Every structure is written in structure tokens, then in C-alpha cells.
Structure 1
Amino acid sequence: MTSTVQSLLLSSMEQNNKPQDEDRLGALTDDILLSILGSVDLATAARTSALSTRWRSLPWLLPDLNLHVRDFLPAPCPDYPVAAGQQIYFYSQIPAQHIDEAMASLTRAARSFLRIKGSSRVSRTSLEIYLIGNYSHDIGPLVRDAIDNGMIKELDLTIADDKDYDCKGGDMLRKARDVDGFFSAYPNILPCLTRLQLYNLRFAEGDIHNVLFDCCKQLQHLSLEHCDVGDCSVWQVDAPNSVLRVLEVRYSYLKRLEVLCLPKLELLSWEAWMHCEPPLHFGYVPSLKELFLVCGADLEHSGFSLSQLLDGATEIHTLTLNFQGEKVISYHFSIDCATCF
């Protein structure tokens, strides 16, 4: 759908200078045109401002502002998702020069949109950036000011990374310091976050809990890729005031995640834990309905009892399991629906 709309818009731009061609899109109302623009990436939407005088201001009236570095890459990357809702994995095959060019273009777009857009038009803002060079010092103040003037009230933030899962502990610590430095420089960002996705970070235990649960009052969706608080560490989450609904963990060297209290949590997904024991312990999770456990277990993984792992999670109705090594040894838990692969 998105690619079809994008092709239609680009075709209209190419034909715009031909007087004999009928401007079919121009005959539509502004609301319909904004709906069309909302289904393509921001870079394409901005290009349509060259179509005519009428189109010139339309991209700046979009209610949702999606500033994604993926949309500004100078060349497509096969491993890089192009849809905003598609899961982002690692993209180490992107040349460093392309990342730099994309961040430069995104910064220019952020400066244009965040300084011009009227605050009454914005309902949601999504930002995906790399913390490289000085770009964070350019984008950070723009986001900070947009929050202060009421333009941004809810923010989806992805801090991307160009390393894969082989990223070493020292690099993870450095990246965590960079992220912490960004949030420390612009502290009003944290209370606005509704969704946060992070990669390759090794936090101090107190820091990760303070940042993700004490400061992020609106955070509803948290995705951590190759993040931990140290090898073989135990991360305890005790956040009775948190509104977090979705927690995703992938490729972590955590020994165990202990969810002591997350009253609003509805979905938890853990993919590929590295240690040979049950990865989860539940305390107070009265809203937890869906649990996804995916791991390519091998002979080094010891089997464990699902009934013991799920003790405390009594409201689950959808359980998805994918244990390629078939190491689940027993299961004695009552649920309404179980999906196993």
C-alpha cells in the first residue's frame, strides 16, 4: 500500500509540469491529501511540496510527524526495514557515509518541521536517530523546544546502532553513556516518551531502572535489543506506578529478568536468552495476557519447568513458544489458549 501511494505521488510530481495532464490529486480535499501523505515517509511527503502552491504547505500540516533516519538513506539497504511499523533489527551493512548523510538530511528536516509546524496539528511524533557526530546536539534542542512549546506531547524514540550482536562490553558501556548523556542534556524528553527502542547498551542497574521507570512516566512500549546490566546479571523491575504495557527483550546476556511489579504489563516477549536457566521470574503482573518465549536452545541449555517459570502470571491467555532445541521438560499451567511452534 505504501509503495503504491509513493509511486503515485512521484508520478504526479514528474507529470506536474505537463499542462495537458489533468491534476487528479489536486481535485481532492485537503483532508484526503493529508491522509495520503500520512501513508508515505516524511522525505517523500516533503518532496510533494514542489507540486504546486496548494501542495506547498500540506506536508507541514500532517498530524503525525515521523522523522526516521531510514527514510533519508541515500541508497536502499536490503537489511533495513522501510515500513515505520516494521521491526528494526541491526543494520551493520549500511556504509558509515550513508548513515552520516541520512542523519544530515534528517537534521535539516527536523529543523524545518519542528520550527514551522503549528502545535495544534501534531498528535504524535516518532523519531529514529543515530547518536553520532554532533547531530544529537542539533536535534536535541529542537525536540526539547518542541516539547516546551507544546508541539510534542508524546514521543516514540528509537536510538539506532550500526553494530550487530557481537558488540563488546566496552562498546556497550560507551553507548550507554552516550544515551544517558543525551537524556541528561535534554531531560524533558523522558517524561514524553511513550515508546522507546534501544540497542547494544550496558546500563548500571540503578541507572536503567531510574531512566526507564522513574523518569518515563508515559512509557507504554519498551524494546531492548542486546541490552543488559552486565553479563550474568539479574535485572529486577519493581515499578508499581509504571504504565508500561509491552516489554520486548532480544539477545540479552541477562541471567534473569525478575518482574517484581508491573501492574499494567500486558505483553512480554523474550527472544534468545544466552544463559542456561529459566530467564524469567514473575511477581505482581495482574494484567499480563500474552507471553512469547523464543530461543534456539541447544544441548548446553538445561530444561526447565514452565509451571515454575510462570508462577505468579495467572492471567495469561496466549502463550507462544518456539524452542528449537526442544528443552521444555514439563508444563503444568492452566491457560485458555496456547500457541506453540
Structure 2
Amino acid sequence: MAHSSLEHDVLLDDVPISVGHAVEKAEFTVLTEKGRLECTIDDLVKYGARFVSFFNECTDTFAGLTRLYLANLRFTESDFVSSILVTCKRLKYLGFLNCDIESWIAFQIEHAELSELSIVNCRFDVVKLDWVPKLTWLVFECWMSFKEPPLSFGYVPLLDVLCVSNVALGWHEMIELSTFLHETSVRDLTLGFKYEKIWVQPECLTRWLASVFHQLRIVNLVDIPEGYDLTWTMFILEAAPSLEEFYMTVCSY
């Protein structure tokens, strides 16, 4: 019989405290003294250093994890995030909230077992899903990258559910979904808009666009600014012949 265990690492002033032990299904969640909105850069650096120290001392334990959730951490070592993936070979789920790398480099992901990935309010230069053959579910919200798009897909043949949301600022360029999604077979797509600018570039119906959208079954457009001309959404309907569900919510800011 498979057992489950929940491990918590509380990053306090002295040393991390680990509760639990790795079993067939093991989770690890980082808890910090301050929440995301309270953390300063110094806090992120401090929490990140403590976690790195603990991780390096307990690599055998981390190697057995199947779920890992990290929040409010800044990593000063540019290759540390990659080290997590190398060490935690059994991971099925990996989540980041309010994390970044001090040197502002690309976060390249290669992992044989990872099936769920969540990256929310993080400051990575660009996230590259180079080889994630079992990935089926991806949440990518509120990127801070100056590059567009900040997410690229390599070998992700099973990616089925994708949720992408951002606060579009004036310097953000619009993204063509056909270019963004052309290496995927996404069936359930959610696009979130959290400000007055729509970051999706409307496209003309072409064979190329239709080939990218042909597997879409569900599309959800969330928090479209009130008063925005919704005709831009028509290209999605026209290019997705197998679409079964289409949702839009309008928000007043």
C-alpha cells in the first residue's frame, strides 16, 4: 500500500526545522515568516540562503520527494534551481511562488517524471521547457521578464492544460498564440488579463493558425478589461474547429 507524508520546512531565524520523512509519496512545502506581500528583497535573499543550506545538507531526503512547493525565495547561485531538478528525480509536482534567480538567467527545465508545474509571480528571465515528456498541467502567471514570450516549449507532448496570466504593462509586447503554442497539443487553455492591456495579438485565420488550434476543446478568457472590443477574440473561435467550451469574464478595474 502506498503511503503519503507531508513535510514542512519552516525557515526561522536560526536553522530550518524539518518535520516528517520521505516515503513513497512525499511532499515538501517551504513556509516563511513573512507572506509574499510582506517580503522585501533582503527577506527573499535570507530565506533563499537558508533553504539552499538545508537542501544541500539533505539531498537524500529531497531525492525522494514527489511534490515540492517553494515560496518567497531568491537564489544567488545561478544553477541552483537546475540542481533541484537533478536531485529531485521523482518529482510529479513542482511549484514556485514569488521566487527568482539573482543573476536573471534562463530557467531551463528537463525532467523525466514531472507532470504538474506552477510558476506564479516569479522573476526568471525566461522559462524553457526543454524536455518534460510527462508534463500535462502548467500554470504560468505574472511574469516579470523583459523578453517576449517569457515561456518556451520544447518536448512537452502530453501538455493538455495550460493557464497563462499576466499584468500587461506598457513595455510588454503582444504575444502571437500561434507562435507561442505551436510546439504543444493543448486542449484546455486559460488566458488571464489583469490590467487594461490585452497581451494577446489577434491573428488572421491561416492554415498555420488552424494547425496550432485544432486540438483546443476549452478556452477560458479571464478578467478582460471592461469596455474592450471583444472582436479580437473571434480569431480563436474561427481557428479552433473542435472547440466545445468558450468562456469570457469581463472585469472592471
**Counterparts of 2:124 and 2:37, CA distance in 1:** 14
Per the alignment, residue 209 of structure 1 pairs with 82
Per the alignment, residue 221 of structure 2 pairs with 340
Aligned counterpart in structure 2 of residue 188 of structure 1, from 60, 69, 74: 60
How many residues of Structure 1 are paired with residues of Structure 2 in the alignment?
Answer: 208
Per the alignment, residue 29 of structure 2 pairs with 158
**Counterparts of 2:42 and 2:193, CA distance in 1:** 31
**Counterparts of 1:229 and 1:247, CA distance in 2:** 18
Q: State the superposition RMSD in angstroms.
A: 2.3
**Counterparts of 1:303 and 1:166, CA distance in 2:** 31
Deviation at 1:133, TM superposition (A): 4.0
Kindly indicate which of the two structures has a greater share of residues assigned to strand: 2
1:274-323: per-residue Cα shift (whole Å, max 9, x none)? 2342121111111111110011213332212111111311x211110012
1:291 touches 1:318 (CA, 8 Å); kept in 2?
yes
1:265 touches 1:287 (CA, 8 Å); kept in 2?
yes
Per the alignment, residue 191 of structure 2 pairs with 321
Aligned to 2:74, what secondary structure does the other structure show?
A: coil
1:275 touches 1:301 (CA, 8 Å); kept in 2?
no
1:233 touches 1:254 (CA, 8 Å); kept in 2?
yes
1:144-164: per-residue Cα shift (whole Å, max 9, x none)? xx44xxxx3321111112142
1:245 touches 1:265 (CA, 8 Å); kept in 2?
yes
1:137-183: per-residue Cα shift (whole Å, max 9, x none)? xx44x64xx44xxxx33211111121424634443233222112112
2:166 matches 1:286: no
1:24-43: per-residue Cα shift (whole Å, max 9, x none)? xxxxxxxxxxxxxxxxxxxx
1:71-120: per-residue Cα shift (whole Å, max 9, x none)? xxxxxxxxxxxxxxxxxxxxxxxxxxxxxxxxxxxxxxxxxxxxxxxxx8
Amino acid at match of 2:107: W
- Structure 1 runs (4+) deviating above 4 angstroms are none
1:271 touches 1:294 (CA, 8 Å); kept in 2?
yes
Bigger CA radius of gyration: 1
Percent pairwise identity: 25
Per the alignment, residue 72 of structure 2 pairs with 200
What are the residue-to-residue correspondences of 1:6-25 with 2, within 5 Å?
none
What are the residue-to-residue correspondences of 1:50-69 with 2, within 5 Å?
none
Deviation at 1:230, TM superposition (A): 2.9
State the TM-score, normalizing by the size of structure 2.
0.74
**Counterparts of 2:106 and 2:83, CA distance in 1:** 16
2:78 touches 2:105 (CA, 8 Å); kept in 1?
no
Kindly indicate which of the two structures has a greater share of residues assigned to helix: 1
2:180 matches 1:309: yes
State the TM-score, normalizing by the size of structure 1.
0.56
List gaps (5 residues or longer) in structure 1: 1-119
Aligned counterpart in structure 2 of residue 265 of structure 1, from 132, 135, 150: 135
Per the alignment, residue 14 of structure 1 pairs with none
1:196 touches 1:222 (CA, 8 Å); kept in 2?
yes
**Counterparts of 2:131 and 2:50, CA distance in 1:** 29
Aligned counterpart in structure 2 of residue 249 of structure 1, from 107, 116, 119: 119
Deviation at 1:124, TM superposition (A): 0.5
Aligned counterpart in structure 2 of residue 295 of structure 1, from 163, 166, 172: 166
